[in-house]
Chain A
Amino acid sequence: MPYPAPAPEQVTTAGGFLLVLSLAVPVTGVLLAFVAGGRKAERIALTTMPIGLASAIAILVALQRTGAPLVYLLGGWAPPLGVALRADGLSAAMMAITAVVIAAIGVFARADFQTPPGSDESRAPFAFWVLLPAIWGALNMVFLGGDLFTLYVALELLTFAAVPLVCLDGRAETLQAALRYLMFALLGSVLYLVGTALLYGSYGTLDIVLLSHKIQAEPATLVAAALMTVGLLAKTALFPLHLWLPPAHAGAPAAASAVLSALVVKGSFFLVVRLWFDVFVQLPSFALAQLLAVLGAAAIVFGSVVALRQERLKLLIAYSTLAQIGYLFLMFPLAFSGAPTRLESGGALAGGLLQAFSHATAKAAMFMSAGLIYAALGHDRIAGLGGVGRARPISVLAFALAGVALIGVPPSGASLAKDLLLQAAAETAQWWWTVVVHAGGILTSSYVLLVLAHALAPADAPITLHVPAARVREGSALVLALCSLLLGLLPWQGYLPVAQGAAPAPPTLKAFSSSLWAVLGGVALAVLLGRWGERFALLRVGKAVGATVGRARHATLPAAGVVERMDGMLQRWPAAGLALLALTLLFGAALLPVAR
């Protein structure tokens, strides 16, 4: 259990000030950047990054040394009257990954968000350099907050900082996307707030540790649990509550998309994990755990198929995020233990969080390289990517490495995550999730390969490059992709509930061969469902094979069309709203078996 008994925890521990520091640094950055304005905003935001990174590392070290969660009581008041900041292994690891990704995005974004020479301040750069540390501070608060109302405020701060990033260029489409995102996120957070009101009414405290000891399967608690879960899922954009995510990514700058997809959705995901593993400890039912993962599995299939049908690289990556979010929810049934009914903090939880870490790093790298490709070509149509592999080898390499990491080729974090999930599936005898985990790898490789096949093909016509290659920007994308690829080698035992000796396993030939199957399956899927355009001719190794493939595509494409139409429907407000209400009822029903 990440939280031990409450008694020794109600004091500020040694190193507790580090938690305050990791909140104070980004927030100070926001305030100073806002006051100083213009060119100085960029410098201030970039200065906070090494300091924040250092404090995140210091927390990791302190946690390793003491072996117990770090606690800081604000003003010395103990809960339930006061508010505590707590950092256990999960939050420390999340904070470290966040700091790394934010720093890489900061380096990457310098070229995009420069105040033009001759003017003192321009809107988009100023907004970006104020909002980037704001998102960081809000995320750190989500990871550290020890009480549910503080977490609500943190979630709202995160949304308010993320929404304007969507519409930095001020075009009507992006403003509309931002407003859609804001309204749907507000709907989600109101549901969360209703839940906190009900919990406070029942138990008189919102402190996570105190609540976890008091929680009972009463009707009010079950309603609160259902409302809070669905509210957070809406903010995480888990299928079918994803109406805000694709339009938000369509017009956002590459750096903003990287922040949104890599980090912002992880904030609310982390809260779902906190709620179900630390607060509602006695509540989970078999049906609830299965339901969360069923939504996840649906998201994987749906997101991947729609990704394969996209014309633009940026939207393909956005739909891939949709699919990867689904992957994060597969851990719930695998962590479920029947007697007593609870979610065990074991290998499955570690697998789920590792997947979140590797997705954060890999997806940020993907959006960055997509941004570089867009800058070089002046467009990001997948069909027109031919020749870019030769013109911008490092950008394409970063995309490829990030893709390989996401597919789960060892020693990537995703491969360790997959091993942990498969192990948990075997232990709990749930073969159907084994199938989904493997299918997820195949689907991921299908859209990664679709992009790479286009990018590495020779150009139809000589391509004109709009900007010279930027080594620093390519470098930051490459570093994040390598991070994701090497995450599996890090010693996670101190922070995640990984069994001693289970990891890191040296990459064996068998592990590689199993990812080879994923890649081969991906090739087949990409051929059958992908959007190829004229490039399809490349596939025709022989006339007979070409004809067979053509016939097979004839059979599979209508199915993909149905999925696409469903996506269009779910991106309408009434449908999404009804899905939200229906899910709330479903979660409530799934919790009925534990009701007293």
Chain B
Amino acid sequence: MSRVQIEITLGALLVLVTGALLVVYGLGEEERMERLEREQQARAIEVGAELFELCKDCHGIQGEGVPGLCPPLNDKFFFTERMKEVGWSGSVEDYIVATVSGGRMTSTRPERYAGQGLPAMPGWSEDYGGPLRADQIRNIASFIMNWESTAPDRREEGVLAGPPVGTDITISLPEGNAENGAALATAQGCVACHVATPTGPGWASSASTPAIAERAALRIAQADYTGTATDAGQYLLESIVLPQVYVVEGYLTPMPADFGSKLTAQDAADIIAYMLTIK
């Protein structure tokens, strides 16, 4: 074979192999595009979670809201009923984008969530004088939408399963279930202040302090302790139902004082059991 013939043959072969490679690559395209879309969605949620730091002071660190101030964004009501309440015809995600972008001049539910004054919620889009770009607001919406599948139904939780635990810390509590306690800690909004914000003491151990279980035992022995608890369990119950009795130095923000009427004895036992497992 002459050089021309060899090159024509080899070249034709290469074109065929390249074509075959393209076909094989093309067969995987559908799947690849789906995977990339999922990854893009995942990254949008990650970025949204970071940006939600801007929202946590009002809407809670986990979107559980702050009673009297701002509504929860992570419960069933928000994802199913809220659109009807305000007469919104678009999707929930669009509603979030619109509300975050433009804010709220006045609260739509002033008796329950008054907001922070005027405006009740500031506009966050840079188009309306806020600090965020459109893509950042869409990321926040992606993050909030990620609560939809796990959103608890708070209206049912509002009805207590038994008599409230009250404020007597000497009662004997039933056996606690740490797993239920963990769920309650989120649902009741405890984690909003007790996980990572400087608002309330963190439950987990940190650089200089032991975890809450160990700390509870130490607190009652402290000279400045003003409560009446005699053991760690009682101290924790006291802190939940009578938070104003003893405020640890350095923390001035008072904790809601109505947990005695919002929790059953079983609830309180569960939360305490959960707190005792935190290392």
Do A and B pair up? The answer is: no
